[in-house]
Amino acid sequence: MSEHIERVYDGPLAIITIKKQETRNGLTLDLWRRLSQLLREIALEPNITITVIQAQGSFWSAGADVKNRDVDREGEAPRAALLRRAAQGNGDLVRSIAEHPKVLVAACQGPAIGIAAAILGLFDLIYTVESFYLLCPFASLSLVAEGASSLTFPRRMGHALANEVLLFGRRIGADRLQQAGFINCVVASKDASDFQRQVHTELRDLLQDKDASSILMIKQQMKTALNPLEVEAVNHREMFNLVERFETGKPQVAFAAIASKSRRHKL
């Protein structure tokens, strides 16, 4: 798994790079769990102020790897299997992001789809390339909002735009998202490597002449002011709603059709 998600420490930056271009950086349940674990490990590093999640290839992440679904355990009841996957996947991921004590930065060199798009609402800073777009095709897949997006999207981009994104799966580009205040900066760049270099340089510049402990304490103050229990409650509700959708069997049919290429996904 480590070959698909890499972590390096570079001064005050912890940099996580997703490297699974064959699936447009769509991740299996095990890989989402690895990402959660890396965030927890970085949280304990005293010399790290900023955590960056970036990726290789044309997509930041296409969300779930629909061709490699988690299999049921022998003797496991269907609902128990769904609850386990929801808790170990989305539930743990959202908690590890929401509770991350470092400044959390998404450096999106390409589009974000599905759960990968949904979790962006939990990040502190979002940098994108000009061609970036966000797509949450939940209703098209018989799913519901996830990644705490039912809370963070209306709060961060406004209810009007969140309705377009979540209810109808409208694809929204970088310019409109920046105007709405959802992303912080659209970076003009030659390629992904140039984009990432610019983001890393910008982050180091932001840290100049700053007390890192003050930065992290201010982040904690802001989280506390927004009531972190809201995210936890929304995360639990979305998990159970997701289980209810999978109990209908409809999402499985949609994912199977995409995996077999009998249904074209609007990436």
CA–CA separation, 92 and 87 (whole Å): 6
pLDDT value for 88: 85
Average pLDDT rounded to a whole number, residues 116-136: 98
DSSP 98-159: HT--SEEEEEESS-EETHHHHGGGG-SEEEEETT-EEE--TGGGT----TTHHHHHHHHH-H
141 belongs to a structural domain: yes
Q: What is the pLDDT of residues 157-205, one digit of tens each?
A: 999 999 999 999 999 999 999 999 999 999 999 999 999 999 999 999 9
Those residues whose C-beta lies under 8 Å from the C-beta of residue 195, and which sit 6 or more positions away, are: 107, 109, 127, 129, 187, 189
**Residues designated catalytic:** 146
- Asked if the structure places residue 266 within a domain, the reply is no
Structure letter (DSSP) for residue 89: I
User: Domain range spanning residue 219?
Assistant: 5-259
pTM of full prediction above 0.95: no
* Structure confidence at residue 264 (pLDDT): 55
Q: What is the mean pLDDT of residues 92-119?
A: 98
Domains identified in the chain, total number: 1
- With respect to residue 162, please indicate whether it lies within any of the assigned structural domains: yes
Q: Residue 267 domain-assigned?
A: no
Report the share of the chain in percent with pLDDT over 90.
82
Q: pLDDT tens for residues 9-40?
A: 999 999 999 999 999 999 999 999 999 999 99
Domain with residue 88: its CATH number is: 3.90.226.10
- Tell me the C-alpha distance between 22 and 19, whole Å: 9
Is 265 among the domain residues? Answer: no
With respect to residue 180, please indicate whether it lies within any of the assigned structural domains.
yes
SS3 label, residue 75: coil
Q: Which residues of 142-154 are buried (b: 16+ CB within 10 A; e: fewer)?
A: bbbbbbbbbbbbb
The secondary structure of 155-185 as a DSSP string is HHH-HHHHIIIIIH---EEHHHHHHTTS-SE
Residue 164 lies in a domain: yes
pLDDT at 68: 67
